[in-house]
Structure 1
Amino acid sequence: MEVNNSGRAGYITNSTLVSKKYETGKNPSFTQSAETNALGDQQAQASSTVSISGRALMVSRLFGSDAEEPPVLSSVRGNGEYMGVLPHHFLTHDDRNLLADIYEFAQKQGADLRHVDMLATDLGSYRKYDNGSLMGNFNDGQQYDSEGRLTTVSFTDADATTAEHIQNSDAFSSTRIDQGFLRYTLDPGHGIGRSSNFEFLEQMVSRFSTKGNDTTPLDPKFSTFAYNENNYIMHTADEVTLNIPRDTSSAEEDTSREALMADAKALPQQLNQSLLEAFIGKNDEKPTERSFIIKLFDWLKPPANK
């Protein structure tokens, strides 16, 4: 067994299973009889690589190693109780059949199956939110930064090129991967939240299409996996176009407090001067000193109950 990226136990693929049989009461060792060695050699020659079926891989990796395939759930539209359910449960029967084939193909090609896991997650999320209709588009002209400047996103140059290749390919019109999902995830405003690798997606669009190339081996680079990071570019407009109301009370309070603290630093010198003047007979109170003392007591006293 192995543990996949979601923390569930899964099957180890491309395993070689060799069965050894020994006579009752005999402990196998390197000093076994020639007969036992010959039997072991024959069994070793007869052993072969056992591949888990694509369907078993799909169920194991998406729903749990010991789970049965669950029923298909409808979108969360009108079914709020489904909001916390994992996206995989919303995959349609056609989605699951396709993913089973992709898992089997990826396994045979030696790819890291997490590439398929991420594709399944994106497709499941698309189904969960009513084929994406419940999800807003980041580039809808409604996103602003804290200063009121419009923000938009775009793909990196590499991903933008791959997205264009997919949409303009001959395989796009006949691929088994839902075209609505492809248009959705290849749109930067929606694709900002994707998990799947566009280059891997391009290979799957071509492979599972009547017009695609179903003989070209999968690129060896997919034998390793890395999570998508920094896969989009954020753009911020220069001009402020949204007036954001601001609470200035805290800023005014901070300014008042700073002025009060500045006065407090000068207080010892002022008091010393007042005491000296009182001692020599100059005891007329200065307006500035009285003003500061009044401010100090006003600031320290608790607020009146409203």
Structure 2
Amino acid sequence: MEFIDSRLLFSVSDHQTFESLSLEIFNYQVQNNEVYGRFVANLGIDIQSIQEHKNIPYLPIEFFKSQKIISGKSPAEAIFTSSGTSGMVQSQHLVTDVSVYVDSYRKAFQLFYGDIKEYALLALLPSYQEREGSSLIYMIDDLIGQSNQEKSGYFLYDHESLKNTMEDLQKNKIPTILIGVTYALLDFVEKHQINFPELTVMETGGMKGKRKEILRAELHKILCNGFGVNSIHSEYGMTELLSQAYSKGNGIFYCPPWMKVTVRDTNDPLSLLGHEQTGGINITDFANINSCSFIATQDLGKTYHNSSFEILGRFDNSDIRGCNLLVQS
């Protein structure tokens, strides 16, 4: 089967196009991704029977920790790795065409927020910045470079400089986004309080073992009070994906058109649930054309009729059911 033109991936404009492309990508990957092909074969699924997106099987995300998930023969241009405490096995995402990732996050940012050149982008991402292989840092590096504002940049632990920068940007009425790992944002507002209603605060990445997890509503209330904003935005992405979903408040996320979230039954991972039912999050990500576009994550959540979704937690057991369906060769 011929390689799919990556330019088609971001041309999705309606349900019919999404359905058609998802089936084309499934057939390409089942034939050109050794791991995914064996996974589907061991499920006993007749490939020809997959005629709708809802019937496509999802690869458990755990495979990124033990297998090389690649579609095609090209070597990796970049390897993105997950964060984790010492001794944990990291996921590895082998990316054979980084330009697809760049197109994905640039187009998604434009879709949800507009032209990056209009923003100052401030980053408070210590746990990501202090290690190699972060796909988030790759994205933020590029977006900071795309920004026309000289005050865009990283702040690591320099909270005083961050506070002064935000006050200066507010004074000069420059649209500003502050993206930060959750615990670092909490660290900041414990030391400094500002009142910057026009600021977009975007949290990502959780506590990273630095703090006790707290309920989203409580977290967002603390951050709203600390920054003087009405809502907290969120970015939902992961090492194993090349697309991001965004929330502009209340933890309700929306995907770009080339990404879709569905929910699976936790006891029967091949069965999908309807809207407003809690289950395991499955993600279709067309930008993963060169790895696997159909990923069963460890997150729990629910979808809604307007194509939005919510993350409610994670599986207690780190091993997703179904991993044993891959027979080692």
TM-score range (shorter-chain normalised) is under 0.3
TM-score (norm 1): 0.23
Between Structure 1 and Structure 2, whose CA radius of gyration is higher?
1
TM-score (norm 2): 0.21
Q: Which has the higher contact order (CA 8 A, sep 6+)?
A: 2
